[in-house]
Amino acid sequence: MTDTTDLTASASGTYTIGGDLPVVRLGYGTMQLTGEGVFGDPADRAGAIAVLRRAVERGVTLIDTADAYGPFVTDGLIREALHPYADDIVIAAKVGLTRPRPGEWVPVGRPEYLRQQTELNLRHLGVERLDLLQLHRIDPQVPLEDQIGELKALQEEGKVRHIGLSEVSVDEIEAARAIAPIASVQNLFNLTTREAEGVLDYAEANGIGFIPWFPLATGELSGEGSPLAEIAAEHGSTPSQLALAWLLRRSPAMLPIPGTKSIAHLDENVDAAAIVLSDEEFARIDAL
């Protein structure tokens, strides 16, 4: 495989969130830095800090976190590793999911809860304003106008720059946009899971950044002898790198945030930013 460690994530290009917040398209998601079940502290705190610093060294500017990761573990790790933040660092936070126990996620969208968690995100990250605050899930027990309305109020108070959504349909995006401007959408999307194709197309057409979570779920496609592995061998890359390259080629609004606890894996992911797929290669991968 070609050594591309002198390259940076900036090879993936840039995208401007909300019309005024530029980020390098290939970002980093922090969820894997927590304990088992996305609960508690990491087994190797120093290693987690090192991975975050390495991400920034490799040119990553978009870092995704959430109050529910740990909870609040990743916010603290980000602050310890990177504060005071460089001017180009954009932290995308989330609120709206509670954590009763490891592996369990329960939406709570009451306005007072969303406000409390936003204030805690601000405190734990050590900032006065969140660049991007995403509603982690829409709570079906609370009117949408109350949930988005509270985020809009926080935005008007200067505590939030841009508002995003997570795991939503096109109809839900449009309903939210009737209440406040929506700058990003974060849905499950990868080479083998594409139920959100319509949401991606809508986001691209409407100037909304699309953040695919679980971007490297290549599954059996990564196995030895699989079609993706064959193309990767031809290209001198790994199947995971091709999966990221495919995402970046799929849409200019795509902002992948692959996560890892390993510096070696982080470097492998960042190296994918330099992969340029031909039309034929993209079509072959897409057909898988």
Q: Which domains does the chain have, with CATH numbers?
A: 9-217+252-260 (3.20.20.100)
Taking residues 162-171, report their average pLDDT. 98
pLDDT of residue 1 exceeding 50, the answer is no
Single out the residue of 47, 1, 17 nearest to residue 182, CA to CA.
Answer: 17
Active site residue 69: yes
pLDDT reading at 274 higher than 60: yes
Q: Between 217 and 58, where is the model more confident? A: 58
d(CA 73, CA 264): 22
Q: Where are the alpha helices (DSSP H) in the chain?
A: 45-57, 73-82, 111-125, 144-156, 170-177, 197-205, 227-235, 239-250, 263-271, 279-287
| CA–CA dist 173, 176 (Å, integer) | 5
pTM equals: 0.95
Give the pLDDT band (50/70/90) at residue 225.
confident
* Residue of 69, 85, 113, 202 with catalytic role: 69
Reported as a single tens digit per residue, the pLDDT across 2-35 is 445 579 999 999 999 999 999 999 999 999 999 9
Is it the case that residue 134 has pLDDT exceeding 80? Answer: yes
pLDDT tens digits along 36-89: 999 999 999 999 999 999 999 999 999 999 999 999 999 999 999 999 999 999
